[in-house]
Protein backbone atom coordinates (compact mmCIF):
# COMPACT_ATOMS: atom_id res chain seq x y z
CA UNK A 1 0.00 0.00 0.00
CA UNK A 2 2.80 2.37 0.97
CA UNK A 3 4.71 1.77 -2.24
CA UNK A 4 1.54 2.27 -4.24
CA UNK A 5 0.96 5.66 -2.62
CA UNK A 6 4.56 6.66 -3.06
CA UNK A 7 4.38 5.63 -6.69
CA UNK A 8 1.25 7.67 -7.22
CA UNK A 9 2.86 10.67 -5.58
CA UNK A 10 5.94 10.30 -7.76
CA UNK A 11 3.81 10.07 -10.87
CA UNK A 12 1.89 13.16 -9.84
CA UNK A 13 5.06 15.13 -9.20
CA UNK A 14 6.45 13.97 -12.49
CA UNK A 15 3.34 15.18 -14.27
CA UNK A 16 3.34 18.64 -12.75
CA UNK A 17 7.09 18.90 -13.23
CA UNK A 18 6.77 18.14 -16.89
CA UNK A 19 3.98 20.67 -17.32
CA UNK A 20 6.07 23.35 -15.66
CA UNK A 21 9.17 22.56 -17.62
CA UNK A 22 7.87 22.87 -21.14
CA UNK A 23 5.65 25.89 -20.51
CA UNK A 24 2.45 25.71 -22.46
CA UNK A 25 3.19 22.79 -24.71
CA UNK A 26 0.37 20.81 -23.14
CA UNK A 27 -2.13 23.61 -23.64
CA UNK A 28 -5.06 23.09 -23.81
CA UNK A 29 -5.56 20.54 -21.05
CA UNK A 30 -9.23 21.14 -20.49
CA UNK A 31 -12.19 22.47 -22.51
CA UNK A 32 -11.97 26.12 -23.50
CA UNK A 33 -14.70 28.73 -23.12
CA UNK A 34 -15.40 31.37 -25.72
CA UNK A 35 -17.44 34.41 -24.72
CA UNK A 36 -19.80 35.83 -27.32
CA UNK A 37 -21.15 39.25 -26.39
CA UNK A 38 -24.44 38.72 -28.23
CA UNK A 39 -27.40 36.44 -27.47
CA UNK A 40 -27.73 32.80 -28.45
CA UNK A 41 -29.04 32.55 -32.01
CA UNK A 42 -27.68 35.90 -33.20
CA UNK A 43 -25.41 36.05 -36.25
CA UNK A 44 -22.21 36.25 -34.18
CA UNK A 45 -23.28 33.41 -31.91
CA UNK A 46 -24.36 31.23 -34.82
CA UNK A 47 -21.08 31.72 -36.68
CA UNK A 48 -19.01 31.30 -33.52
CA UNK A 49 -20.63 27.94 -32.89
CA UNK A 50 -19.87 26.77 -36.42
CA UNK A 51 -16.25 27.90 -36.61
CA UNK A 52 -15.43 26.33 -33.24
CA UNK A 53 -17.18 23.03 -33.87
CA UNK A 54 -14.00 21.27 -35.00
CA UNK A 55 -11.87 22.56 -32.09
CA UNK A 56 -11.92 19.12 -30.46
CA UNK A 57 -10.25 17.46 -33.50
CA UNK A 58 -6.69 16.27 -32.98
CA UNK A 59 -5.35 18.47 -35.79
CA UNK A 60 -6.98 21.55 -34.21
CA UNK A 61 -6.82 22.28 -30.48
CA UNK A 62 -7.74 18.80 -29.30
CA UNK A 63 -10.20 20.23 -26.80
CA UNK A 64 -13.76 21.44 -27.46
CA UNK A 65 -14.64 25.13 -27.24
CA UNK A 66 -17.87 25.92 -25.39
CA UNK A 67 -19.74 29.12 -26.24
CA UNK A 68 -20.73 31.39 -23.36
CA UNK A 69 -23.21 34.16 -24.18
CA UNK A 70 -23.00 37.45 -22.30
CA UNK A 71 -25.38 39.69 -24.22
CA UNK A 72 -26.33 43.27 -23.45
CA UNK A 73 -25.96 46.88 -24.55
CA UNK A 74 -24.65 46.19 -28.04
CA UNK A 75 -21.84 43.96 -26.77
CA UNK A 76 -20.54 46.27 -24.04
CA UNK A 77 -21.51 43.89 -21.22
CA UNK A 78 -19.57 40.96 -22.66
CA UNK A 79 -16.43 42.88 -23.63
CA UNK A 80 -16.34 44.67 -20.27
CA UNK A 81 -16.47 41.28 -18.62
CA UNK A 82 -13.71 39.90 -20.82
CA UNK A 83 -11.47 42.91 -20.21
CA UNK A 84 -11.93 43.17 -16.46
CA UNK A 85 -13.21 39.92 -14.99
CA UNK A 86 -12.18 37.03 -17.23
CA UNK A 87 -9.09 35.06 -16.26
CA UNK A 88 -6.26 35.54 -18.74
CA UNK A 89 -5.16 31.91 -18.58
CA UNK A 90 -5.86 30.97 -22.17
CA UNK A 91 -9.04 29.09 -21.27
CA UNK A 92 -11.24 32.11 -21.77
CA UNK A 93 -11.44 33.37 -25.32
CA UNK A 94 -13.73 36.04 -26.66
CA UNK A 95 -15.34 36.76 -30.00
CA UNK A 96 -14.72 40.28 -31.29
CA UNK A 97 -16.83 42.39 -33.59
CA UNK A 98 -15.08 45.17 -35.43
CA UNK A 99 -15.95 48.07 -35.68
CA UNK A 100 -18.31 47.67 -32.71
CA UNK A 101 -15.95 47.43 -29.78
CA UNK A 102 -13.44 49.92 -31.16
CA UNK A 103 -16.16 52.49 -31.80
CA UNK A 104 -17.62 51.94 -28.33
CA UNK A 105 -14.22 52.36 -26.68
CA UNK A 106 -13.67 55.61 -28.61
CA UNK A 107 -17.08 56.87 -27.43
CA UNK A 108 -16.13 55.99 -23.84
CA UNK A 109 -18.13 54.74 -20.90
CA UNK A 110 -16.61 51.26 -21.11
CA UNK A 111 -13.64 49.63 -19.44
CA UNK A 112 -11.93 48.32 -22.57
CA UNK A 113 -10.11 49.53 -25.65
CA UNK A 114 -8.27 47.80 -28.48
CA UNK A 115 -5.30 47.52 -26.09
CA UNK A 116 -7.26 45.38 -23.64
CA UNK A 117 -7.32 42.41 -25.98
CA UNK A 118 -4.96 40.32 -28.10
CA UNK A 119 -6.41 39.15 -31.43
CA UNK A 120 -5.95 35.52 -32.47
CA UNK A 121 -7.59 35.21 -35.88
CA UNK A 122 -10.47 36.52 -37.96
CA UNK A 123 -13.12 34.21 -39.39
CA UNK A 124 -15.71 36.33 -41.13
CA UNK A 125 -16.56 39.65 -42.68
CA UNK A 126 -20.20 40.62 -42.91
CA UNK A 127 -20.82 43.91 -44.72
CA UNK A 128 -23.68 46.18 -43.75
CA UNK A 129 -26.42 46.53 -46.37
CA UNK A 130 -29.25 48.99 -46.84
CA UNK A 131 -32.64 47.26 -46.88
CA UNK A 132 -36.21 48.48 -47.40
CA UNK A 133 -39.49 46.60 -47.13
CA UNK A 134 -40.58 44.54 -50.14
CA UNK A 135 -43.45 46.96 -50.89
CA UNK A 136 -41.39 50.12 -50.31
CA UNK A 137 -41.44 52.88 -52.92
CA UNK A 138 -37.65 53.07 -52.78
CA UNK A 139 -35.98 50.99 -55.46
CA UNK A 140 -32.44 52.35 -55.55
CA UNK A 141 -30.04 53.97 -53.14
CA UNK A 142 -30.57 57.21 -55.09
CA UNK A 143 -34.31 57.16 -54.19
CA UNK A 144 -33.39 56.89 -50.52
CA UNK A 145 -30.82 59.67 -50.73
CA UNK A 146 -33.26 61.93 -52.57
CA UNK A 147 -35.90 61.39 -49.91
CA UNK A 148 -33.45 62.00 -47.07
CA UNK A 149 -32.23 65.22 -48.68
CA UNK A 150 -35.76 66.49 -49.27
CA UNK A 151 -36.90 65.53 -45.76
CA UNK A 152 -33.99 66.00 -43.35
CA UNK A 153 -34.28 63.77 -40.26
CA UNK A 154 -37.45 62.07 -41.49
CA UNK A 155 -35.98 58.90 -42.96
CA UNK A 156 -36.36 56.40 -40.12
CA UNK A 157 -33.63 53.79 -40.44
CA UNK A 158 -33.31 50.83 -38.07
CA UNK A 159 -30.06 49.22 -36.99
CA UNK A 160 -28.82 46.90 -34.27
CA UNK A 161 -27.68 49.54 -31.78
CA UNK A 162 -25.56 52.62 -31.20
CA UNK A 163 -21.90 52.48 -32.27
CA UNK A 164 -22.14 49.11 -33.95
CA UNK A 165 -21.36 48.49 -37.62
CA UNK A 166 -24.86 49.49 -38.74
CA UNK A 167 -24.65 52.82 -36.96
CA UNK A 168 -21.20 53.49 -38.44
CA UNK A 169 -22.61 52.83 -41.91
CA UNK A 170 -25.48 55.22 -41.24
CA UNK A 171 -23.06 57.90 -40.03
CA UNK A 172 -20.91 57.42 -43.12
CA UNK A 173 -23.96 57.66 -45.38
CA UNK A 174 -25.02 60.90 -43.71
CA UNK A 175 -21.54 62.32 -44.12
CA UNK A 176 -21.11 61.20 -47.73
CA UNK A 177 -24.57 62.31 -48.84
CA UNK A 178 -24.62 65.47 -46.72
CA UNK A 179 -28.00 64.47 -45.40
CA UNK A 180 -29.73 63.76 -42.09
CA UNK A 181 -31.40 60.44 -41.36
CA UNK A 182 -33.24 59.30 -38.21
CA UNK A 183 -31.24 56.30 -37.03
CA UNK A 184 -33.37 54.09 -34.76
CA UNK A 185 -31.33 51.64 -32.66
CA UNK A 186 -33.26 48.54 -31.61
CA UNK A 187 -32.87 46.35 -28.58
CA UNK A 188 -32.53 42.74 -29.60
CA UNK A 189 -29.93 43.08 -32.30
CA UNK A 190 -30.13 42.64 -36.05
CA UNK A 191 -33.22 40.41 -35.92
CA UNK A 192 -35.30 43.12 -34.22
CA UNK A 193 -33.99 45.76 -36.64
CA UNK A 194 -34.98 43.54 -39.56
CA UNK A 195 -38.43 42.96 -38.09
CA UNK A 196 -38.92 46.74 -37.92
CA UNK A 197 -38.19 46.99 -41.66
CA UNK A 198 -40.41 44.08 -42.68
CA UNK A 199 -43.30 45.26 -40.51
CA UNK A 200 -43.02 48.80 -41.84
CA UNK A 201 -42.25 50.34 -38.42
CA UNK A 202 -39.37 52.15 -40.12
CA UNK A 203 -38.80 53.25 -43.72
CA UNK A 204 -35.40 51.65 -44.20
CA UNK A 205 -32.87 49.64 -42.29
CA UNK A 206 -29.21 48.82 -42.17
CA UNK A 207 -28.52 45.20 -41.44
CA UNK A 208 -26.02 42.35 -41.76
CA UNK A 209 -25.60 41.03 -45.26
CA UNK A 210 -26.10 37.46 -44.03
CA UNK A 211 -29.47 38.24 -42.39
CA UNK A 212 -30.61 40.51 -45.21
CA UNK A 213 -29.74 37.88 -47.79
CA UNK A 214 -32.07 35.46 -46.04
CA UNK A 215 -34.86 37.99 -45.71
CA UNK A 216 -34.53 38.93 -49.40
CA UNK A 217 -34.67 35.25 -50.37
CA UNK A 218 -37.92 34.96 -48.44
CA UNK A 219 -39.22 37.95 -50.41
CA UNK A 220 -39.63 40.21 -47.38
CA UNK A 221 -37.14 42.97 -48.19
CA UNK A 222 -35.27 44.61 -51.05
CA UNK A 223 -31.51 45.08 -50.67
CA UNK A 224 -30.48 48.40 -52.23
CA UNK A 225 -26.75 48.69 -51.60
CA UNK A 226 -23.76 47.09 -49.88
CA UNK A 227 -21.41 49.19 -47.74
CA UNK A 228 -18.20 47.55 -48.93
CA UNK A 229 -15.45 48.11 -51.49
CA UNK A 230 -16.58 45.31 -53.79
CA UNK A 231 -19.83 43.57 -54.60
CA UNK A 232 -20.46 40.49 -52.49
CA UNK A 233 -20.46 36.95 -53.84
CA UNK A 234 -23.83 36.29 -52.21
CA UNK A 235 -25.40 39.32 -53.91
CA UNK A 236 -23.74 39.84 -57.30
CA UNK A 237 -26.59 42.07 -58.50
CA UNK A 238 -26.55 44.53 -55.63
CA UNK A 239 -24.28 47.57 -56.21
CA UNK A 240 -21.89 48.93 -53.62
CA UNK A 241 -22.65 52.34 -52.15
CA UNK A 242 -19.73 53.85 -54.05
CA UNK A 243 -21.15 52.55 -57.35
CA UNK A 244 -24.46 54.19 -56.48
CA UNK A 245 -22.81 57.50 -55.81
CA UNK A 246 -22.34 57.55 -52.03
CA UNK A 247 -18.71 57.62 -50.96
CA UNK A 248 -18.92 54.99 -48.20
CA UNK A 249 -15.94 52.65 -47.73
CA UNK A 250 -15.68 49.33 -45.86
CA UNK A 251 -15.28 50.81 -42.35
CA UNK A 252 -18.62 49.42 -41.27
CA UNK A 253 -17.94 45.85 -42.41
CA UNK A 254 -18.49 43.62 -39.42
CA UNK A 255 -15.30 41.60 -38.92
CA UNK A 256 -15.72 38.70 -36.55
CA UNK A 257 -12.91 36.77 -34.97
CA UNK A 258 -11.34 35.35 -31.84
CA UNK A 259 -9.35 37.24 -29.24
CA UNK A 260 -8.05 36.73 -25.70
CA UNK A 261 -7.79 39.21 -22.83
CA UNK A 262 -4.49 41.02 -22.41
CA UNK A 263 -2.17 39.20 -20.03
CA UNK A 264 -2.67 35.79 -21.56
CA UNK A 265 0.75 34.06 -21.69
CA UNK A 266 2.58 34.71 -24.97
CA UNK A 267 3.18 30.99 -25.47
CA UNK A 268 -0.56 30.35 -25.52
CA UNK A 269 -1.24 33.28 -27.84
CA UNK A 270 1.35 31.95 -30.28
CA UNK A 271 -0.07 28.46 -30.14
CA UNK A 272 -3.60 29.69 -30.73
CA UNK A 273 -2.51 32.05 -33.51
CA UNK A 274 -0.86 29.11 -35.26
CA UNK A 275 -3.73 26.61 -34.98
CA UNK A 276 -6.93 28.66 -35.07
CA UNK A 277 -6.76 29.98 -38.69
CA UNK A 278 -6.19 26.41 -39.87
CA UNK A 279 -9.17 25.32 -37.82
CA UNK A 280 -11.33 27.90 -39.62
CA UNK A 281 -10.17 26.58 -42.98
CA UNK A 282 -11.64 23.14 -42.26
CA UNK A 283 -13.88 22.19 -45.17
CA UNK A 284 -16.78 21.21 -42.89
CA UNK A 285 -16.69 24.66 -41.30
CA UNK A 286 -16.62 26.36 -44.70
CA UNK A 287 -19.52 24.23 -45.91
CA UNK A 288 -21.74 25.04 -42.94
CA UNK A 289 -20.90 28.74 -43.09
CA UNK A 290 -21.80 28.88 -46.77
CA UNK A 291 -25.03 26.98 -46.17
CA UNK A 292 -25.98 29.52 -43.50
CA UNK A 293 -25.34 32.45 -45.83
CA UNK A 294 -22.40 33.74 -43.79
CA UNK A 295 -19.44 35.17 -45.74
CA UNK A 296 -16.06 33.91 -44.49
CA UNK A 297 -12.87 35.93 -44.40
CA UNK A 298 -9.95 34.27 -42.66
CA UNK A 299 -7.13 36.47 -41.41
CA UNK A 300 -4.10 35.65 -39.28
CA UNK A 301 -3.11 37.42 -36.07
CA UNK A 302 -0.73 39.83 -37.80
CA UNK A 303 -3.30 40.80 -40.41
CA UNK A 304 -5.90 41.36 -37.70
CA UNK A 305 -3.52 43.55 -35.68
CA UNK A 306 -3.03 45.76 -38.74
CA UNK A 307 -6.77 45.83 -39.45
CA UNK A 308 -7.59 46.84 -35.83
CA UNK A 309 -5.08 49.71 -35.99
CA UNK A 310 -6.43 50.95 -39.32
CA UNK A 311 -10.03 50.79 -38.10
CA UNK A 312 -9.23 52.66 -34.93
CA UNK A 313 -7.81 55.52 -36.95
CA UNK A 314 -10.72 55.86 -39.37
CA UNK A 315 -13.28 55.53 -36.58
CA UNK A 316 -11.60 58.19 -34.44
CA UNK A 317 -11.87 60.55 -37.37
CA UNK A 318 -15.48 59.63 -38.15
CA UNK A 319 -16.66 59.86 -34.54
CA UNK A 320 -14.68 63.00 -33.71
CA UNK A 321 -17.53 65.30 -34.63
CA UNK A 322 -20.12 63.50 -32.45
Partner 1 sequence: MSDISLPRIQHIVGSGLVACVGAWVTYVSYTQQPSEAFLFPRLIATVFFVLALWTFIKACLGWTKVGNGVSVTQLSNLAPGLLVALVYIFWAAKGLGFYTATTIAFFILLSLYDPAPHTALKSWLKRIFITACFMVVMYGLFALLLKVYTPREIFF
Partner 2 sequence: MEFIYYFGDVFTPINFGLLLLGTIGGLILGATPGLSPTMAVALLIPFTFQLEAAQGLILLGAAYTSTVAGGAVSAILLKIPGAPANIATTLDGHAMAQKGEGAKALQLSFLSSAVGGVFGVLLLIFLTPVLAKWALAFGPSHLFWLAILGVTVIGTLDSKSVVKGLLSGCIGLWLATIGFDDIMGAQRFIFHPSLGGGINIIAALIGLFAIPQVITMFARGRRDDGAEVIEVQKHPIRGAFAEMMRNKRAVGIGTAVGSIIGLIPGVGGQIAGLVAYDQSKKFSPDRDKFGTGHPEGLIAAESANNAMVGPSLVPLLTLSIPGSPTAAVLLGGLLIHGIFPGTDLFDNHPDVAWTFINSMLIGQILMCIFGLYVAGLAAKVARVPQSVMAAIVLGLAVFGSYSVQSSMGDVYVMASLGVMMYFLERFGFSAAPLVLGLILGPIAESNFIQGSMIASATDGLAPYFLSGTLNIFLIAVVVASVLYSAYMELRTRRYTSMEEIIG
Q: Which residues bind partner 2 (CB under 8 A)?
A: 33, 39-42, 45-46, 49-50, 53, 67-70, 72-74, 76-78, 80-81, 84-85, 104, 107, 109-110, 153-156, 161-163, 182, 184-188, 191-192, 194-196, 198-199, 201-202, 214-215, 217-220, 288, 290-293
Cis peptide bond N-terminal to 99, omega within 30:
yes
Q: What φ, ψ does residue 53 adopt, rounded to 5°?
A: -70, -20
Choose between 69 and 300: whose C-beta lies nearer to partner 2: 69
Spell out, one character per residue from 45 to 84, where the chain touches partner 1: x when CB under 8 A holds, - when not: ---------------------x------------------
Q: Does position 33 bind partner 1 by CB under 8 A?
A: yes
Q: Is 305 exposed, middle or buried (0-12, 13-18, 19+ CB in 10 A)?
A: middle
Q: Does position 30 bind partner 1 by CB under 8 A?
A: yes
Whole-number Å distance between alpha carbons of 220 and 134? 5
Q: Does position 182 bind partner 1 by CB under 8 A?
A: no
Q: What φ, ψ does residue 189 adopt, rounded to 5°?
A: 70, -160
Choose between 74 and 295: whose C-beta lies nearer to partner 2: 74
Segment 247 to 266, residues that bind partner 1, using CB under 8 A = none
Query: Could you tell me the smallest distance in angstroms from the CB atom of residue 30 to partner 1?
Result: 8
Whole-number Å distance between alpha carbons of 195 and 304? 33
Q: Is 43 helix (H, G, I), strand (E, B) or coil?
A: helix
Choose between 73 and 198: whose C-beta lies nearer to partner 1: 73
Query: Which does residue 31 touch among partner 2, partner 1, none (CB within 5 to 8 A, set by kind)?
Result: partner 1
Degrees to nearest 5, angle at CA 197 with 192 and 199: 90
Query: Which does residue 26 touch among partner 1, partner 2, none (CB within 5 to 8 A, set by kind)?
Result: none
Beta strands in the chain (DSSP E): 32-36, 65-69, 92-98, 117-126, 128-133, 156-159, 182-185, 204-208, 221-227, 254-261, 296-299
Query: Which does residue 42 touch among partner 1, partner 2, none (CB within 5 to 8 A, set by kind)?
Result: partner 2
Number of Cβ atoms within 10 Å of the Cβ of 217: 11
The number of helices, as runs of H, and strands, as runs of E, in the chain is: 11, 11
Query: Could you tell me the smallest distance in angstroms from the CB atom of residue 57 to partner 1?
Result: 18
Query: Which does residue 267 touch among partner 2, partner 1, none (CB within 5 to 8 A, set by kind)?
Result: none
The distance of Cα 216 from the centroid of its chain, to the nearest Å, equals: 22
Find the part of the chain contacting partner 1 (CB under 8 A) among 14-22, 25-33, 151-159, 254-262: 25-33
Query: Could you tell me the smallest distance in angstroms from the CB atom of residue 169 to partner 1?
Result: 23
What is the DSSP track for 140-157?
A: SHHHHHHHHHHSTT--EE
Q: Does position 31 bind partner 1 by CB under 8 A?
A: yes
Whole-number Å distance between alpha carbons of 255 and 97? 6
| Contacts with partner 1, residue ranges (CB under 8 A) | 30-31, 33, 66
Amino acid sequence: MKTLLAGAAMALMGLTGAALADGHANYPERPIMMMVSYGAGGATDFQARIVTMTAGNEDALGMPIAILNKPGAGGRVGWNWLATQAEADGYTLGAYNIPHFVAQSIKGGVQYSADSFEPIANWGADPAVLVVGADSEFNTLQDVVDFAKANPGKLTTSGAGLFVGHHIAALQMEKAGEMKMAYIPTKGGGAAAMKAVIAGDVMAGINNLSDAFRAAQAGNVKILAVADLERNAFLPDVPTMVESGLDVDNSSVNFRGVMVPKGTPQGIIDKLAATVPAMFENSRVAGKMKAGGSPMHIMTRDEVLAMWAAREETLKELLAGL
